[in-house]
């Protein structure tokens, strides 16, 4: 290649890659770096035998070994799974029914309900947490003593109620747009073909909003898993993952600190797997719909 063709090739390249494009690409790269660098940093240090990230150390699997063996952490994980799955399930059912109810309301009550729902979403969580705590001590405890056998205290029930209160408004907001997309005649068509209102709901409405319900369920799991404030205020003696991570991060030794890094890594891999599986399943479903027989 002689010099002339090389220079033209280079100038061609410069023409193709305009400064605007370079700027746009590097901006994107920067954003992605800021988003993911801390996570990869943490993943890297989950394999190091150091107390704090950034310290000099050696490669090890000890963090993971400790994570799977520490009885406190295992108990916290078990509690969290119970709380998360229960509250996400309850919130999804409650929120779905609520959304359907709100959707078919008249204009004014609908507005009131949507406004009420909105408050829960924008309300600072610390307020909700405090409110729940006061509610439980003032109203729930005396009542609890009446209904339940003695010394009813903060614990699973209060956390789950708190998490349901946290998640339900988000479920409603997730379901409503999907309901709006349904042809309003579909429900009527089901009745017209002889279905009872309940049957029509079960066989026509629910299947159509099912993807949104699934999304709401996953969202609820995330919210519940993440939640620290409501849990902290209403947990009593029950230990959960978020509480464990919080205390370990502040007062932990090298072992627990390493364990929470390992734990975070496992959770991150889990989240990525869920997203990947979900996307694959959706693509397959879309393809099967248009397959002609």
Partner 1 sequence: MENNKDNLKKEILIEFKGVTKQYGTSLAVEDFSLQVKRGEFVTLLGPSGCGKTTTLRMLAGFENITSGEILLNGEDISKLPPNKRPLNTVFQKYALFPHMNVENNIAFGLKLKRVEGIKEKKKVEVVVCESTGAKQKVISYEPVLDANGNTIPVMRKLRKEEIDEKVQKALKLVDLPDFAKRHIESLSGGQQQRIAIARAIVNEPAVLLLDEPLGALDLKLRQEMQLELRQMHKELGITFIYVTHDQEEALTMSDRIVVMNMGKILQVGTPKQIYDEPENGFVANFIGESNIISGVMEADYKVTFAGKTFTCIDYGFDKNERVDVVIRPEDIELFVNGDSRPAKDKPAGDNTLQGLVVSSLFKGVHYEMEVEANGVGFLVQSTTGYSVGENVNLYIKPDYIHIMEKEKEANVIKGKIIDDDAILLQGAKIKVDLTALIENSAYDDSGYLVNAAGERIANELDLYGKNVEVTMAFGDIELKDNESEGDIKGTVITSFYKGTHYQARVKADKGYEFFVSTNYSYDDGDRVGLVLVPSKMVLKLEEVEKVD
105 forms part of the interface with partner 1 (CB under 8 A): no
Residues 136 and 154 sit within 8 Å (Cβ to Cβ):
yes
Distance in Å, CB of 208 to partner 1, minimum: 6
Query: Which residues lie below 8 Å from residue 41, measured CB to CB, with a gap of 6+?
Result: 53
195 forms part of the interface with partner 1 (CB under 8 A): yes
- State the Cα–Cα distance between residues 245 and 266, nearest whole angstrom: 14
Q: Determine the number of helices (DSSP H) and then strands (DSSP E) in the chain.
A: 14, 0
Q: Among 18, 69, 118, 186, which residue interacts with partner 1 (rule: CB under 8 A)? A: 186
Distance in Å, CB of 282 to partner 1, minimum: 14
Distance in Å, CB of 182 to partner 1, minimum: 9
Q: Among 193, 271, 276, 280, which residue interacts with partner 1 (rule: CB under 8 A)? A: 193
Smallest CA-to-CA distance from 165 within 212, 243, 234, 105 is with: 234
Helix (H) or strand (E) holding 13: helix 3-16
Return the range that interacts with partner 1 (CB under 8 A); candidates 69-77, 119-127, 206-214, 240-248.
206-214
Residues 254 and 49 sit within 8 Å (Cβ to Cβ):
yes
For partner 1, the closer of residues 13 and 290 by Cβ is: 290
Sites for partner 1 among residues 210-229 (CB under 8 A): 210
Residues 151 and 144 sit within 8 Å (Cβ to Cβ):
no
For partner 1, the closer of residues 20 and 292 by Cβ is: 292
Q: Among 5, 54, 194, 237, which residue interacts with partner 1 (rule: CB under 8 A)? A: 194
Dihedral sign from CA coordinates of 80, 92, 267, 228: negative
For partner 1, the closer of residues 83 and 175 by Cβ is: 175
Residues 67 and 248 sit within 8 Å (Cβ to Cβ):
no
Question: By CB under 8 A, how many residues form the interface with partner 1?
Answer: 25
- State the Cα–Cα distance between residues 100 and 198, nearest whole angstrom: 12
Q: Which residues pair with residue 59 across a beta bridge?
A: 48
For partner 1, the closer of residues 208 and 255 by Cβ is: 208
196 forms part of the interface with partner 1 (CB under 8 A): yes
Distance in Å, CB of 206 to partner 1, minimum: 10
Q: Which residues bind partner 1 (CB under 8 A)?
A: 183, 185-186, 188-197, 199, 203-204, 207-208, 210, 288-293
């Amino acid at each position: 290649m002689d010099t002339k063709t090389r220079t033209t090739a280079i100038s061609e390249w410069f023409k193709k890659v305009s400064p605007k494009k370079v700027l746009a690409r590097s901006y994107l790269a920067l954003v992605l770096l800021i988003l993911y660098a801390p996570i990869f940093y943490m993943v890297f240090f989950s394999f190091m035998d150091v107390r704090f990230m950034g310290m000099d150390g050696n490669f090890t699997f000890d963090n993971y070994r400790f994570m799977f063996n520490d009885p406190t952490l295992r108990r916290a994980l078990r509690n969290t799974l119970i709380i998360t799955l229960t509250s996400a399930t309850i919130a999804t059912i409650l929120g779905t029914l609520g959304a359907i109810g709100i959707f078919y309301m008249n204009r004014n009550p609908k507005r009131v309900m949507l406004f009420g729902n909105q408050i829960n979403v924008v309300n600072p969580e610390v307020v909700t947490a405090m409110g729940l705590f006061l509610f439980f001590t003032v109203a729930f405890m005396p009542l609890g003593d009446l209904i339940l056998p003695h010394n009813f205290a903060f614990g699973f029930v209060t956390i789950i109620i708190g998490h349901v209160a946290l998640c339900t408004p988000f479920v409603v907001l997730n379901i409503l747009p999907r309901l709006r997309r349904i042809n309003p005649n579909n429900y009527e068509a089901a009745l017209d073909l002889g279905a009872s209102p309940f049957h029509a709901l079960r066989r026509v409405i629910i299947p159509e909003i099912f993807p949104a319900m699934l999304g709401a369920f996953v969202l609820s799991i995330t919210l519940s898993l993440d939640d620290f404030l409501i849990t902290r205020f209403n947990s009593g003696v029950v230990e959960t993952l978020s509480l464990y991570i919080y205390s370990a991060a502040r007062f932990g030794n090298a072992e627990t600190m390493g364990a929470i890094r390992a734990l975070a890594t496992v959770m991150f891999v889990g989240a990525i797997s869920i997203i990947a599986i979900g996307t694959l399943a959706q693509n397959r479903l879309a393809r099967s719909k248009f397959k002609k027989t």
